[in-house]
Amino acid sequence: MVKTAVNLCGVELKNPIIPASGTFGFGYEFAELYDINLLGSLSFKGTTMELRFGNPTPRIAECYEGMLNAVGLQNPGVDKVLSEELPKLKACFDGPIMANVSGFSLEQYRETVRKLDAEPQIAWFEINISCPNVHGGGMSFGTNPEAAASVVAEVRKVTKKPIIIKLTPNVTDIVAIAKACEEAGADGISLINTLLGMRIDLKTKKPILANKMGGFSGPAILPVATRMIYQVYEAVNIPIVGMGGVSSAEDVIELMLAGATAVEVGAANLRDPFACKKIIEDLPRVMEKYKIEKLEDIIGGAH
């Protein structure tokens, strides 16, 4: 009997599969399709201090082996997330959840986390300093080691729960930023977020996205994710949550061998709402195929 359980920053998960923020709503929407309690956890929709309508449309563009999105962190704001969204999730999911938090200033990051910290079901904070779709914040914190570290230090003031920093791949040296986050007190690193991309409509001769550029995700970015997870694993001593192009149980194994403790599934959920369910159900078969008895034993196994 294979064992799929993993331990992420002291929290036991029945399996490493976590739907990625922005691709799974607040979770309860998917509970209408299947029992989401089979998930290891879920990272709910990126939450900011105030309500955000996001970017103008069109926000989505198709690509070969992937997609572009420029949604722009649309969400109802932290107060409504606490009063309306999380109670609906709690009614259909009894496992630990990951709170994905975004901000446009250190104060916004700190205050959003402070408000969410009182929710007992939240086991970790996934702090997004890597969104390529917003102006005046987001990715700007994640492209500089000192700025990234300052977010970690500010959030640490208001929570004792594990802080996992979500990094952008749109940098020259991902390792330097990951190390700066670890030194500032981060408990884990989450990577990779989307790559910055663009498409142009040949008929209009203009960018397809109203935002001009957006986040490129999907199967095509898996090799980039694998490389960056591998590099960061060799440089830090804290757990990694891997993501980027995952669409199969084989992909999960690959990212874990590179160094991921848990694996998020993003764009695949938008193509197939049953993607996470299928991956979890297929994990035992793939583990047996590659003679893996315990998933925890293969973390970083490619090094």
pLDDT at 132: 54
Cα dihedral 214, 21, 254, 303 sign: positive
In the predicted model, is pLDDT for residue 135 greater than 80?
no
In the predicted model, is pLDDT for residue 148 greater than 80?
yes
Domains of the chain: 6-298 (3.20.20.70)
In the predicted model, is pLDDT for residue 139 greater than 70?
no
pLDDT band at 218, cuts 50/70/90? very high
Which residues are catalytic, by number?
131
Provide mean pLDDT across the span 91-101.
98
In the predicted model, is pLDDT for residue 138 greater than 80?
no
In the predicted model, is pLDDT for residue 140 greater than 80?
no
Could you report the per-residue pLDDT of 155-172, keeping only the tens digit for each? 999 999 999 999 999 999
pLDDT band at 141, cuts 50/70/90? confident
In the predicted model, is pLDDT for residue 5 greater than 90?
yes
What is the separation, in whole angstroms, between the first and last Cα of the chain?
26
Provide mean pLDDT across the span 122-126.
98
pLDDT at 143: 86
User: What is the C-alpha radius of gyration for the chain, rounded to an integer number of angstroms?
Assistant: 18
Go through 220-250 and write b for each residue having 16 or more CB atoms within 10 A of its CB, e for each that does not.
Answer: bbbebbbebbbbbbeebebbbbbbbbbbbbe
